[in-house]
Structure 1
Amino acid sequence: MERARTVLVALTVAACLPYLTLKVIWLTGGRTGIPRGSLLLDGGATLWVLNALTVAMDCVVVLLALALTRPWGRRLPGGLLALPLWCAGGLLGPIAVAFPLQAAQSALTGGADGHGDAGPQEVLAGWVWTLVYTGFTVQALGLGTLFALYVRERWGALLRSPLRPDGTRPRPAADRPSSRTFAAAVLLAVPTAVVHARDAVGHGGDNRITDATFAMYAVVAVVAVGTLLRSESGARTSRAPLWPTLTAAWIGSAVLACWGGWLLVGALSGAGRRVGQQADGMLELAYACQTLAGLALAAVMTRAVRRRAHALPPSPAPV
């Protein structure tokens, strides 16, 4: 198992290198992969700052891969790892779903329709999209597998606990603040799902797949967190483990919050238009609703997990 972890860490770190290399080249004035006439050539200070931010984000992926496998990582407080892993899962999750579908569509149709309304040839060379998004997909798979192994060892008892505990165990009661927060999150998630579903129908090619993926994650997040709440107050019992529902709630809420925030920053700063993303007042409002919905669902999920953790019987002391 340790050898497998070592291989996964090596793959994850290697997958970060192409993106980091390109970003460093661009930050230092290079134009590798940027065709003549690209909107990125006149990005200004805003685009430079966003490029620097994405370099820092990819460096965090490297640190997380190490933390999930090194002894010092097992001694870190759970909360210190949870937030960056939640963000990483949220940003990489849609790519891991959408990019393979886009690649398959490109192979079947004989060419991609582009990664934005402006088309990739006007923004970045086609090989850049392929190289970078392949790396992101490998990062998602590698980091996700390492995280699954980590939480199984550290919080396995919680993850294997039944979704609906039987009558012999103390059942955590859902509180009213969580129910109200969930209701607010649903109201915020509705325009998010509607806008992405509308764009999935109205757009073509890669954009259609991307928007359909976001709409899917919005539905998954709401259903999973709602299931967590119902399982706390329902009378029925179930032997189904907690981890599938919790995983869906974790990834779904993270995708809504993190991608909603990232798209909103791009729209408000104007940087999104330079990579072909069109945004108007309705889209900006949808991104804001998406971000708030994800944060609200994450808050409800966190409270539910804490209640369940406190309701678990104490682990036996080591002999």
Structure 2
Amino acid sequence: MERTKTVLAAAAVAACLPYLALKLIWVAGGNLGIPPGSPLREEGTALWLVNILTIAMDGTVVLLVLALTRPWGRRLPAALLALPLWIACGLLGPIVAAFPAQVLYGVLSGGAGQDSGADELLDGWVWTLVYSGFTVQALALGALFVRYVHDRWGALLRSPLHPDIAAPDRSPVLARLGFAAAVLLTLPCVAGLTTQMADQSADRRIVDAAFLLYTLVALAGVGRLLRTGGTGGTRGAVRRTAPRLGPTLSAAWIGSGVLACWGGWLLLGALTGGGRPLGQQMSTGTLLAYACQALLGLLLAAVGAQQLRHRARLLRHRPAPGGTVRQDA
């Protein structure tokens, strides 16, 4: 077990190094992997700051690996780990889904339909190196995260999605209103993504399709969490096929993270100029789609977190077998 954890940690850290090295070279003024004529060769404070930010973000992955593998990481407050891990899952999630699909499509199509603007921005080997590293990061960090959560909160994840409560309970009104608002917000978000897909390269369409997939995953996950207030079923009955909390919570976690983090990142790049070197024309519709995507993710995350707190209160105060009310810690 410990050997596997060590291998995963080493793989995650090693996968960070190529990206960190390239970013440090670029911040220092080097042009390794940047072809002549690329917009990235132009001096710009916004682009320099974006590079600094991405160095910090990749460095945070190394810190997360240590927190997930060292004994002191088990003593950290849950909230201190939750936010950076949610961001990491959100940013790496689409890469795991889209990059292998892009590679496979490129092999099968002989490169037809690929994004020519990407090669004008950076040499082809840079994209392959960086996104291969991100994929390894995601898989290794994800495996470490799963092991950490299993060791620390395994009982919670294995608990029934719909715990038996003496009387059926309803989710808080604010949670239901928030989810209804999220469903309405999905309409302009999906419309923006589908409109972009019509005029994009095959590579970009694959990425947008991944975003659409995660939108559905997030909505399904949070929607199911809203029904965790109780089933009103027969108490004490053993239901081996009863759904567990883990899969639903995972869907809500990664889906909301993808929407919030990528929507926010793309919007930041568009507003600061950090996204313009990618050759994208930032229309009002595109900016609106990014803003809706970020807001949708944040709203779903807030609804999911509120519903988890609601679930915890239900389980703390549910009647014990003798008829008294539990006051679990």
Question: Normalising to structure 2: TM-score of the pair?
Answer: 0.90
The residue type equivalent to 2:193 in the other structure is H
The reply to whether residue 269 of structure 1 matches residue 272 of structure 2 is: yes
The residue type equivalent to 1:18 in the other structure is P
How much does 1:310 deviate? 3.7
From 216, 219, 238, the counterpart of 1:219: 216
How much does 1:230 deviate? 2.5
From 180, 192, 196, the counterpart of 1:195: 192
**Contact 1:165–1:171 under 8 Å retained in 2:** no
Give the distance between the partners of 1:67 and 1:258, measured in 2 at CA.
Answer: 22
How much does 1:122 deviate? 1.2
Give the distance between the partners of 1:142 and 1:55, measured in 2 at CA.
Answer: 19
RMSD over aligned Cα, in angstroms?
2.1
In the alignment, structure 1 segments of 5+ residues that lack a partner are: none
- 1:23 match: 23
Q: Deviations over 1:57-102 (max 9, x none)?
A: 0000110011001011110000000000000000000000000000
How much does 1:316 deviate? 9.8
Range that drifts further, 183-192 or 205-214: 183-192
**Contact 1:264–1:284 under 8 Å retained in 2:** yes
Distance 1:231 1:315, change over 3 A: closer
Q: Deviations over 1:196-246 (max 9, x none)?
A: 123234423100100111111111111210111023265568711111111
The reply to whether residue 208 of structure 1 matches residue 187 of structure 2 is: no
Give the distance between the partners of 2:19 and 2:327, measured in 1 at CA.
Answer: 43
Work out the number of aligned pairs and report it: 314
The residue type equivalent to 2:59 in the other structure is C
Give the distance between the partners of 1:282 and 1:236, measured in 2 at CA.
Answer: 48
The residue type equivalent to 1:52 in the other structure is I
The reply to whether residue 245 of structure 1 matches residue 243 of structure 2 is: no
- 1:37 match: 37
**Contact 2:192–2:286 under 8 Å retained in 1:** yes
**Contact 2:185–2:296 under 8 Å retained in 1:** yes
The residue type equivalent to 2:158 in the other structure is R
The reply to whether residue 130 of structure 1 matches residue 128 of structure 2 is: yes
From 246, 254, 259, the counterpart of 1:256: 259
Q: Deviations over 1:32-80 (max 9, x none)?
A: 0000000111141100000000000000011001100101111000000
Q: Which has the larger radius of gyration?
A: 2
- 1:153 match: 151
The residue type equivalent to 2:194 in the other structure is A
